[in-house]
Amino acid sequence: RIVKRQIGCRRDINRLNGQFLSLYESLIPAEEEKAKQKQLLLLLEKHVAKEWPEARLYLYGSCANSFGFPRSDIDVCLAMEDADVDKSEVLLKLADILQSDNLQNVQALTRARVPIVKLMDPATGISCDICVNNILAVVNTKLLRDYAQIDVRLRQLAFIVKHWAKSRGVNETYHGTLSSYAYVLMCVHFLQQRRPAILPCLQGMENTYAVTVDSTECAYFDQVEKLSGFGSHNRESIGQLVWAFFNYWAYCHDYANDVISVRTGSMLSKHEKDWTRRVGNDRHLICIEDPFELSHDLGRVVDKFSIRVIREEFERAAEILQCDPDPCVMLFKPYVP
């Protein structure tokens, strides 16, 4: 592999700000969608309350972390009092209850890695997946939503990166590429690393929010309204940041040794995480530490074939941003196998 390093960014990079910002605006879901999601959640809550009065429903994932595209499905977590409930049993019962209402395609997938009930609500046109007691996902959703409130450039960068990843076919965990969750964490970490920093490290600050989930302590500073000016000493534009993000992952990241860690706001070594060799199916070829489940590497889905695909896509993006006279066309050109 020939690795080229780009020393400086193209001089007219700020010419792209307008295009990136209009792309970002076009990817933000309309307010009516939020209202429809609420409506469906209320309907589900009504059914759940009858059977399990103590249970709660939470939205998680892109419908609640502020990194969602228009018309996405919603992810719902059914939180039961009893942490050890038989999830399959609950899901089968839930499917039964929901079937009797006007909901369509209700299906319990009890053998999936994360067991769920799937359904479609004809009244709102929204599809939804409901899981049981996936509380860490609810908490990491809040963490991302809180980060998004600190500096708008996080949301802008992450929407552009997600749009790129979806267009280029590198956002498919079942094909060994990365989840949207992983890409958003990469963006948070990248903005924590800018100098001056654009984002703080919330888990490194005073804890104003703390919950314990299955013996995992999740705590951080969540009074983010107090941090609204945090990134203002850094004046980098969205064009510069998109360029620097791809340049970093194409030419600067040390894939052999480094782990990115939003939890510490710094780089850790694979050595200290003991992520230096393949264990079972976890290969650790690109390492992204989950902010709460510290043994969880979000890069673990990546294998020796897909790591090449991902790195070549980072290099392609960096090259286009550096050299193409009209980069937005090629950057998001749908990948056709």
68 is a contact residue toward Mg ion (CB under 5 A): no
Interface with ligand CTP, residue 247, by CB under 6 A: no
Rounded to 5°, the CA angle 216-221-223 comes to 135
**Which residues, including other chains, have CB under 8 Å from residue 53's CB and lie 6 or more apart?**
none
Structure tokens at 211: 């919950």
Residue 249 binds which of ligand CTP, Mg ion, none (CB < 5-8 A, kind-dependent): none
Strand extents, DSSP E, the chain: 56-60, 74-79, 104-109, 116-121, 126-132, 209-213, 216-220, 258-261, 266-269, 287-289
Rounded to the nearest whole angstrom, what is the least distance from the CB of residue 311 to ligand CTP in the complex? 20
Query: Does 67 participate in binding ligand CTP (rule CB under 6 A)?
Result: yes
Q: Which of 152, 50, 135 is nearest to 93 (CA)?
A: 50
x/- letters, 141..160, toward ligand CTP (CB under 6 A): x-------------------
Q: CB under 8 Å to 302, separation ≥6 — which residues? A: 176, 177, 178, 283, 285, 286, 310
Q: Rounded to an integer, what distance in angstroms lies between the CA atom of residue 65 and that of residue 248?
A: 25
Pull the structure tokens for residue 333. 């050109």
Residue 114 in 3-state DSSP? coil
Instruction: Give the shortest CB-181-to-Mg ion separation in angstroms.
Output: 8
Reading phi first (left if > 0) and then psi (alpha if -120 to 50, else beta), residue 321 is in alpha
Q: Which does 137 bind (CB under 5 to 8 A by kind): Mg ion, ligand CTP, none?
A: ligand CTP
At which residue do the structure tokens 């956002």 appear? 171
Interactions with Mg ion, residue window 209-248 (CB under 5 A): none
- Binding residue (CB under 6 A) for ligand CTP from 99, 127, 179, 237: 179
Residue placing its CB nearer to Mg ion in the complex, 76 or 244: 76
Which tokens is 269 given? 């070594």
* Residues 106 and 99: beta-carbon distance below 8 Å: yes
Stretch binding Mg ion (CB under 5 A), from 56-64, 130-138, 195-203, 270-278: 56-64
Member of 72, 149, 216, 237 binding ligand CTP (CB under 6 A): 72
CB nearer to Mg ion: pick between 61 and 327 = 61
Which span sits near ligand CTP by CB under 6 A: 12-20, 174-182, 196-204, 259-267? 174-182
For ligand CTP, the closer CB: 27 or 307: 27
Number of shown-chain residues binding ligand CTP (CB under 6 A)? 17
Q: Which is nearer to Mg ion, 72 or 216 (CB)?
A: 72
- Residue 144 structure tokens: 């991302």
Spatial distance between the Cα atoms of 305 and 287, rounded to a whole number of angstroms: 16
Q: Which stretch binds ligand CTP (CB under 6 A): 17-25, 59-67, 187-195, 200-208?
A: 59-67
Closest residue by Cα to residue 72 from 35, 127, 139:
127
Least distance from C-beta 137 to ligand CTP, angstroms?
A: 4
Rg of the chain in Å (alpha carbons):
21
Among 13, 20, 61, 270, binds Mg ion (CB under 5 A): 61
- Total of residues contacting Mg ion (CB under 5 A): 2
Considering only residues 16, 58, 59, 62, which one is a binding residue for ligand CTP as defined by CB under 6 A? Answer: 62
User: Which residues in this chain contact Mg ion in the complex, by CB under 5 A?
Assistant: 61-62
Q: By the criterion CB under 6 A, which residues form the site for ligand CTP?
A: 60-62, 65, 67-69, 72, 75, 136-137, 140-141, 179-181, 298
